[in-house]
């Protein structure tokens, strides 16, 4: 208590700069006067009395000092004093300060923005309480480690896993589907729907913005009274943010004839849009709704993602063991459906981290390279500055400052620079965060584009990241004052400003730093070149799909006669060359068909049926989408309901099941499909052709076995029209929509986009990487040029006398320039060697994210070399000219 | 000592305190009287004493110090602590070897 009151008084004294000096002086005077009087009284002479009084009192200055120490907080006062001094020192050299601050700010700001993006895309936890207790449960097979579950499987898992039992815990299921909501004009809007288990919101801890969410207690009621909870965006967009929406009902459609009234129970907050950060769903309904709308049969398919919140004392490990046990129990109970299936539990964070994957890591490494360049640059600047100030430092040393005081002073200057650049860098990051989402392709262009769920905020986490960077840079830069400035020797430094001994040592260190800088910059440029090539390739190389304009309209299948009407309407549109259709167009974001059991009759070694994805297509579909038939024939109009069943397989399927053979003429059994010819037997389809591999879900994916079946075999009830046109496909989108609605308002497309847009969207990661790498590579290059220029300029200044002597002895100006050039070339070559090693290391990492580019290919290397060489020339130009302009007499006289 | 002096004599200026301590300790303490002032300041910061300007006996301006309530309490505890310590030390000195045998 007493100490506290003392400290607070002192703090107040420091803050108000209050000094009791006058008071002390007066007290001392009166003290001595009284003592003197006393002395006189005992008989001393006046002079002697005063002398004795003073002697008795003690050294006035020492007492003042002691008094002063008692008065304030000396440590803080010294610090404040140093701080003032540092500010003054930095203000004295504004050029140095601003270059250092801007350089560091570029490094800190750009990597903070990258972190912000990575955080938003991948790392940011779900907006629920205690996100660290949330886990993901995946079904696993040999091919797939992140598989989904059917609803009955979910029920079995939820029932048996005790690690999720408890009041605020549980396993939840969530599956993405689409619902149609009628518009007043007779068309319908597609609402992105999450079908979830009824305990979803309570188990995860999602609280509504308005109204209430459904809970497990509502299970019975929901069977007869379907309910939905609106997502924030949907509430704003379709209901105008109506605060009285809760309790009202809305209409959902199924097919042409079925309309369902569902009650709106609540609205979700904008902070919870989906379980994945870049996704934004419109409505959330319990599985009971899905059954109510007559789609309960779908629940037995595997399209549910499982999440769980662990019970208070349960661990991920327990959950993992239990999930594996339940999965193997299911496999034993029903071997036909579940053989080879397992289950895996991962914490939500590790799932997000694996999503960021190599893409995130490559970005992170590139950003780290830029930060390192910035650090090295500022270190250069500090070196020069320390050297320039060595006489100042020696002077202060000889005036009695301890080395620690000088080092503290320099540390404080560094700290100020870092603090300033942190502020500036965060400002820079805020600006970048506003621009970055616009650079990314987060969705293909559509007729009515939705707003993306991705918003970048420079939040506390980003601030923490930038501060950590700043802290590291302070530590890094602290080495310089501690190692160098504390070293000036009194005798050697005082007479002349630039003695050669310490300067030589400094320049050796700096030379190494320059090598490193050129090396990092080269590696950055190489990887940037590879990533740009990769992006260009993804947009231009043959991929088994045409790059021509194709409009894509995904809607419900109206059946043959109406479908033909639609085709006739589409053909009549201006500029349309061809119309084809299929269940799905390639690269569409929704899942296509999968034949769960494919049997190969001619191949006894393939006993177990396998699951293979397929598309059901119209005869001209492959022709229109540009997927070539490499063997056999394509479909014709004769391959219809009346013809014998036929199938076209992909090259990847041939490689896997008929390696080195000609599959044409073989057949596959497809028990999933009705055999119209002989009811009750599995459909036997004869292979008539082999199609080249084409991407199904994603550009750059590893080609899986794939089949094409005639469209009449499709049982999905959905159709995608693809319309080839000479015009920009999006320009006929509105007309195409009219053509569909004209046949039936319910044919209003759920997705209306173009193939080039889907390709652009699918190549979005390559584009993001290329754009970000280019920006970072450029920043890195600029930093390197500044660093190299600074170093060479310093070198020329250092060697001014030598150059002067050489010139005085008859060296020509060319020879002088050559002298510098030789130095530059030596630096550049060593730097490139280091860079090559770094690039080699980077290439091992990068190979996974490149599209059709071998890392370290000739083009990347040579373009990086060319860019770096011209940058070095630019950096060397001015210093070399300055060296050539040295006047021998002046240089010698200057010493 | 400062506290006790103020307790006995009431409000007093720095010189008076110094004199008093000198008298009582028989000049054994206080090599330099000036060292009293940092101590006074510290006590004042702790709230044990308060001070104000006032006229001295021979009409000089001097700063007078007096005990506050917290000061009295502090004096009490210090006194008790000291007595305890002194008693313990005293007992150690009284102990003879045969007492322990």
Minimal Cβ distance to A56: which of B33, B46, B61: B33
Give dist(CA A634, CA A449) in Å, integer: 36
**Mutate: best of B14, B37, B69, partner A, most A CBs <10 A:** B37
Give dist(CA B78, CA B76) in Å, integer: 6
Give dist(CA A331, CA A141) in Å, integer: 12
Looking at the fold, whether A241 and A382 belong to one and the same domain comes out as no
Please give the pLDDT value at position A502: 53
Please give the pLDDT value at position A610: 79
Looking at the fold, whether A19 and A39 belong to one and the same domain comes out as yes
What value does the CA radius of gyration of chain A take, rounded to a whole number of Å? 38
Q: What SS3 class is residue A362?
A: helix
Please give the pLDDT value at position A648: 95
Minimal Cβ distance to A63: which of B13, B19, B34: B34
Whether residue A23 and residue B63 make contact (CB cut-off 8 A), yes or no, is: yes
Give dist(CA A246, CA A484) in Å, integer: 70
A626 φ, ψ (degrees, to nearest 5): 85, 20
pLDDT tens figures, A185-199: 777 788 889 999 999
The pLDDT of residue A506 is above 70:
no
Distance (Å) from the alpha carbon of B42 to chain A's nearest alpha carbon: 6
Whether residue A58 and residue B46 make contact (CB cut-off 8 A), yes or no, is: no
Residue A551: how many CB atoms within 10 A of its CB? 30
Looking at the fold, whether A152 and A88 belong to one and the same domain comes out as no
Residues of A in contact with B61 (CB under 8 A): 26, 30
Q: What SS3 class is residue A596?
A: strand
Distances in whole angstroms, Cα of residue A266 to Cα of each of A208, A213, A272, A625: 6, 6, 13, 44
Average pLDDT of the residues of chain A = 84
Mean pLDDT of A435-446: 75
**Cross-strand pairs, A534:** none
Please give the pLDDT value at position A450: 63
Mean pLDDT of A405-416: 83
Residues of B in contact with A37 (CB under 8 A): 58
Give percent of chain A above pLDDT 90. 33
pLDDT tens figures, A825-848: 999 999 999 999 999 988 888 888
Distance (Å) from the alpha carbon of A400 to chain B's nearest alpha carbon: 27
Minimal Cβ distance to B32: which of A2, A20, A57: A57
pLDDT tens figures, A147-182: 888 899 999 999 999 999 988 899 999 988 878 888
The pLDDT of residue A373 is above 60:
yes
Report CA torsion sign: A865, A870, A874, A880.
Answer: positive
Find the helix packing angle between B36-46 and A21-41, rounded to 10°.
Answer: 130
Would you say residue A520 lies in a domain? no
A323 or A440, higher pLDDT: A323
A555 or A750, higher pLDDT: A555
Q: Does A13 touch chain B (CB under 8 A)?
A: no
pLDDT tens figures, A238-248: 999 999 999 99
Looking at the fold, whether A102 and A163 belong to one and the same domain comes out as no
Distance (Å) from the alpha carbon of A31 to chain B's nearest alpha carbon: 5
Please give the pLDDT value at position A688: 94
Looking at the fold, whether A202 and A321 belong to one and the same domain comes out as yes
User: Structural domain boundaries of chain B?
Assistant: 2-100
Distance (Å) from the alpha carbon of B90 to chain A's nearest alpha carbon: 30
pLDDT bracket for residue A630 (50, 70, 90): very high
Give dist(CA A553, CA A446) in Å, integer: 10
Mean pLDDT of A380-408: 77
Token pair belonging to A883: 């060296």
Buried b (16+ CB within 10 A) or exposed e, A661-683: eebbebbbbbbbbebeeeeeebb
Contact A839, A856 (CB under 8 A): yes
Q: Give the DSSP per-residue string, A810-875.
A: T--HHHHHHHHHHHHHHHHHHHHHHHHHHHHHHHHHHGGG-SS--TT-HHHHHHHHHHHHHHHHHH
What value does the CA radius of gyration of chain B take, rounded to a whole number of Å? 18
Would you say residue A247 lies in a domain? yes
pLDDT tens figures, A460-502: 888 899 999 888 888 877 776 666 544 555 444 444 444 455 5
Q: Does B59 touch chain A (CB under 8 A)?
A: no
Distances in whole angstroms, Cα of residue A166 to Cα of each of A44, A163, A314: 94, 9, 10
Please give the pLDDT value at position A493: 45
B7 or A353, higher pLDDT: A353
pLDDT bracket for residue A65 (50, 70, 90): confident
Chain A, nearest residue to B36 by Cα: A63
Distance (Å) from the alpha carbon of A46 to chain B's nearest alpha carbon: 17
Q: Does B14 touch chain A (CB under 8 A)?
A: yes
Contact A105, A428 (CB under 8 A): yes
Calculate the CA dihedral of residues A238, A240, A244, A246 and round it to 10 degrees.
30
Please give the pLDDT value at position A491: 45
Whether residue A57 and residue B34 make contact (CB cut-off 8 A), yes or no, is: yes
Would you say residue A260 lies in a domain? yes
Looking at the fold, whether A122 and A197 belong to one and the same domain comes out as no
pLDDT bracket for residue A454 (50, 70, 90): low
Looking at the fold, whether A193 and A256 belong to one and the same domain comes out as yes
Contact B20, B9 (CB under 8 A): yes
Q: Does B62 touch chain A (CB under 8 A)?
A: yes
**Cross-strand pairs, A198:** none
- Look-up of token digits 């809007």: A189
Q: Does B20 touch chain A (CB under 8 A)?
A: no
Would you say residue A604 lies in a domain? yes
Q: What SS3 class is residue A10?
A: helix
Nearest alpha-carbon partner for A822 in A782, A795, A797, A800: A795
Q: Does B83 touch chain A (CB under 8 A)?
A: no
Number of Cβ pairs closer than 8 Å across A and B?
78
Looking at the fold, whether A640 and A673 belong to one and the same domain comes out as yes
* Maximum mean pLDDT: which of A206-210, A363-367, A876-880: A206-210
B56 or A347, higher pLDDT: A347
Give dist(CA A138, CA A309) in Å, integer: 14
Domain that holds residue A312: 142-340
Please give the pLDDT value at position A496: 45
A892: which residues sit within 8 A by CB, 6+ positions away? A801, A804, A805, A808
Give dist(CA A261, CA A254) in Å, integer: 11
Would you say residue A709 lies in a domain? yes
Mean pLDDT of A373-378: 88
The pLDDT of residue A785 is above 80:
yes
Please give the pLDDT value at position A486: 46
pLDDT tens figures, A238-290: 999 999 999 999 999 876 668 899 999 999 998 898 888 778 889 999 999 99
Minimal Cβ distance to B56: which of A30, A35, A58: A30
Whether residue A5 and residue B56 make contact (CB cut-off 8 A), yes or no, is: no
Looking at the fold, whether A369 and A482 belong to one and the same domain comes out as yes
Distances in whole angstroms, Cα of residue A85 to Cα of each of A63, A78, A79, A830: 27, 10, 10, 40
A233: which residues sit within 8 A by CB, 6+ positions away? A270, A273, A280, A282, A450, A451, A453
Please give the pLDDT value at position A341: 83
Mean pLDDT of A296-311: 87
**Mutate: best of B16, B19, B33, partner A, most A CBs <10 A:** B33
Would you say residue A295 lies in a domain? yes
Please give the pLDDT value at position B97: 65
Whether residue B56 and residue A34 make contact (CB cut-off 8 A), yes or no, is: yes
Residue A105: how many CB atoms within 10 A of its CB? 25
Would you say residue A296 lies in a domain? yes
DSSP A730: G
A384: which residues sit within 8 A by CB, 6+ positions away? A790, A794
Would you say residue A121 lies in a domain? yes
pTM: 0.73
CATH code reported for the domain at B2-100: 1.10.10.10
The pLDDT of residue A350 is above 60:
yes
Please give the pLDDT value at position A185: 78
Give dist(CA A678, CA A696) in Å, integer: 32
Give dist(CA B94, CA A750) in Å, integer: 103
The pLDDT of residue A41 is above 60:
yes
- Look-up of token digits 């929901």: A222
Looking at the fold, whether A17 and A89 belong to one and the same domain comes out as no
The pLDDT of residue A779 is above 60:
yes
pLDDT tens figures, A330-339: 888 877 677 7
pLDDT tens figures, A107-140: 999 989 988 888 888 888 888 999 999 999 998 8
pLDDT tens figures, A716-748: 778 999 999 998 888 888 889 889 988 887 788
pLDDT bracket for residue A505 (50, 70, 90): low
pLDDT tens figures, A513-522: 889 999 999 9
Please give the pLDDT value at position A499: 47
Looking at the fold, whether A410 and A465 belong to one and the same domain comes out as yes
CA–CA–CA angle A314, A320, A321 (5° rounding): 95
Token pair belonging to A577: 């060359």
H, E, C per residue of A45-74: CHHHHHHHHHHHHCCHHHHHHHHHHHHCCH
A722: which residues sit within 8 A by CB, 6+ positions away? A550, A551, A552, A579, A580, A581, A582, A585, A621, A624, A625, A755
Distances in whole angstroms, Cα of residue A355 to Cα of each of A381, A707, A856: 40, 29, 26
Look at chain A and report how many structural domains it folds into: 4
Give percent of chain A above pLDDT 70. 91
Please give the pLDDT value at position A490: 47
pLDDT bracket for residue A211 (50, 70, 90): very high
Q: Give the DSSP per-residue string, B33-96.
A: GGGHHHHHHHHHHHTSEEEEEEE-TTS-EEEEEEE-HHHHHHHHHHHHHHHHHHHHHHHHHH--
pLDDT tens figures, B28-39: 665 677 777 878
Nearest alpha-carbon partner for A195 in A169, A214, A221, A220: A214
Give dist(CA A460, CA A466) in Å, integer: 10
**Mutate: best of A70, A71, A72, A74, partner B, most B CBs <10 A:** A70
Please give the pLDDT value at position A481: 61
Residue A37: how many CB atoms within 10 A of its CB? 15
Looking at the fold, whether A117 and A198 belong to one and the same domain comes out as no
């Amino acid at each position: 208590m007493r100490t506290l009151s003392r400290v607070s008084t002192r703090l107040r004294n420091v803050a108000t700069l209050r000094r009791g000096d006058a008071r002390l002086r007066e007290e001392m005077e009166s003290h001595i006067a009284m003592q003197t009087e006393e002395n006189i009284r005992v008989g001393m002479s006046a002079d002697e009395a005063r002398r004795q009084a003073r002697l008795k009192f003690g050294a006035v200055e020492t007492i003042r000092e002691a008094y002063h120490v008692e008065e304030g907080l000396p440590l803080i006062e010294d610090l404040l004093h140093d701080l003032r001094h540092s500010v003054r020192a930095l203000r004295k050299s504004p050029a140095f300060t601003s270059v250092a601050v801007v350089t560091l700010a570029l490094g800190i700001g750009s990597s903070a923005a990258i972190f912000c993006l990575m955080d938003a895309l991948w790392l940011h936890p779900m907006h629920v309480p205690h996100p660290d207790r949330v886990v993901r449960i995946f079904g696993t097979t040999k091919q797939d480690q992140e598989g989904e579950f059917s609803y009955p499987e979910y029920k079995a898992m939820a029932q048996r896993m005790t690690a999720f039992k408890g009041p605020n815990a549980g396993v939840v299921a969530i599956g993405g589907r689409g619902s149609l909501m009628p518009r007043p004009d007779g068309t319908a809007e597609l609402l992105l729907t999450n079908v979830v288990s009824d305990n979803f919101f309570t188990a995860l801890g999602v609280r509504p913005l308005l109204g209430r969410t459904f809970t497990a207690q509502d299970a019975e009621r929901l069977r007869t009274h379907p309910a939905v909870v609106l997502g924030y965006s949907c509430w704003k967009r379709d209901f105008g943010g109506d605060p009285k929406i809760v309790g009202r009902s809305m209409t959902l459609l199924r097919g042409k004839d079925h309309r369902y009234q569902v009650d709106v129970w609540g609205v979700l907050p904008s902070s919870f849009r989906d379980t994945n950060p870049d996704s934004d769903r419109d409505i959330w309904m319990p599985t009971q709704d899905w059954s109510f709308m007559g789609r309960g049969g779908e629940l037995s398919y595997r399209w549910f993602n499982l999440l769980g919140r662990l019970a208070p004392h349960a661990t991920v490990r327990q959950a993992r063991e239990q999930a594996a046990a339940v999965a193997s129990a299911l496999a034993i109970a029903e071997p036909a459906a579940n053989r080879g299936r397992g289950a895996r539990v991962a914490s939500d964070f590790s799932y997000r981290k694996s999503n960021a994957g190599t893409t995130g890591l490559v970005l992170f490494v590139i950003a780290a390279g830029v930060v390192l360049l910035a650090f090295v640059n500022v270190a250069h600047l500090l070196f020069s500055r320390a050297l320039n100030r060595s006489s100042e430092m020696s002077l202060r040393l000889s005036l009695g400052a301890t080395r620690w005081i000088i080092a503290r002073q320099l540390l404080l200057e560094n700290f100020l620079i870092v603090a300033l650049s942190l502020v500036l860098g965060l400002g820079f990051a805020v600006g970048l965060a506003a621009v970055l989402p616009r650079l990314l392709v987060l969705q293909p262009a559509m007729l009515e584009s939705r707003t993306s769920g991705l918003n970048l905020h420079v939040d506390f986490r980003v601030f923490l990241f930038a501060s950590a960077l700043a802290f590291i840079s302070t530590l890094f830069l602290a080495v310089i004052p501690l190692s160098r400035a504390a070293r000036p020797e009194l005798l050697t430094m005082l007479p002349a400003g630039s003695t050669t001994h310490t300067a030589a040592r400094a320049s050796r260190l700096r030379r190494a730093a320059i090598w490193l800088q050129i090396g990092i910059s080269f590696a950055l440029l190489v990887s940037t070149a590879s990533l740009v090539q990769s992006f260009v390739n993804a947009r231009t190389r043959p991929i088994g799909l045409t790059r021509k304009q194709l409009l894509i309209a995904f809607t419900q299948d109206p059946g043959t006669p109406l479908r033909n009407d639609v085709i006739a309407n589409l053909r009549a549109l201006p500029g349309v060359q061809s119309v084809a259709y299929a269940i799905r167009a390639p690269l569409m974001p929704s899942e296509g068909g999968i034949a769960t059991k494919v049997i190969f009759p001619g191949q006894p070694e393939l006993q177990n049926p396998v699951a293979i994805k397929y598309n059901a297509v119209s005869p001209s579909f492959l022709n229109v989408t540009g997927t070539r038939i490499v063997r056999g024939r394509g479909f014709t109009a004769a391959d219809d309901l009346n013809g014998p069943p036929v199938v076209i397989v992909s090259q990847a399927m041939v490689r896997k099941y008929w390696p080195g053979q000609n599959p044409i003429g073989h057949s596959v059994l497809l028990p999933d499909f009705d055999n119209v010819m002989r009811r009750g037997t599995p459909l036997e389809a004869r292979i008539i052709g082999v199609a080249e591999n084409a991407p199904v879900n994603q550009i750059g994916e590893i080609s899986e076995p794939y089949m094409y079946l005639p469209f009449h075999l499709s049982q999905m009830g959905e159709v995608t029209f693809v319309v080839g046109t000479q015009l920009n496909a999006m320009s006929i989108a509105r007309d195409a929509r009219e053509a569909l609605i004209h046949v039936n308002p319910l044919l209003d497309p759920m997705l209306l986009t173009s193939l080039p847009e889907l390709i652009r969207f699918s190549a979005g990661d390559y584009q993001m990487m290329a754009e970000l790498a280019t920006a970072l590579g450029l920043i890195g290059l600029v930093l390197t040029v500044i660093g190299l220029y600074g170093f060479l300029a310093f070198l020329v200044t250092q060697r001014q006398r030598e150059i002067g002597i050489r010139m005085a002895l008859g060296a020509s100006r060319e020879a002088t320039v050559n002298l510098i050039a030789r130095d530059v070339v030596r630096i550049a070559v060593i730097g490139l060697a280091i860079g090559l090693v770094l690039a080699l290391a980077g290439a091992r990492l990068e190979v996974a994210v490149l599209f059709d580019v071998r890392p370290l290919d000739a083009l990347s290397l040579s373009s990086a070399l060319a860019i770096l060489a011209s940058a070095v020339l630019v950096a060397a130009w001015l210093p070399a000219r300055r060296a050539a302009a040295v006047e021998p007499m002046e240089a010698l006289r200057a010493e | 000592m400062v506290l006790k002096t103020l307790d006995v004599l009431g409000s007093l200026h720095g010189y008076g305190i110094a004199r008093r301590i000198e008298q009582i300790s028989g000049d054994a303490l206080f090599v330099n009287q000036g060292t009293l002032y940092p101590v006074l300041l510290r006590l004042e910061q702790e709230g044990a004493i308060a001070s104000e300007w006032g006229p001295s006996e021979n009409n000089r301006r001097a700063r007078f110090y007096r005990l506050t309530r917290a000061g009295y309490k502090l004096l009490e505890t210090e006194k008790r602590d000291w007595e305890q310590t002194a008693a313990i030390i005293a007992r150690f000195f009284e102990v003879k070897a045969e007492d322990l045998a």
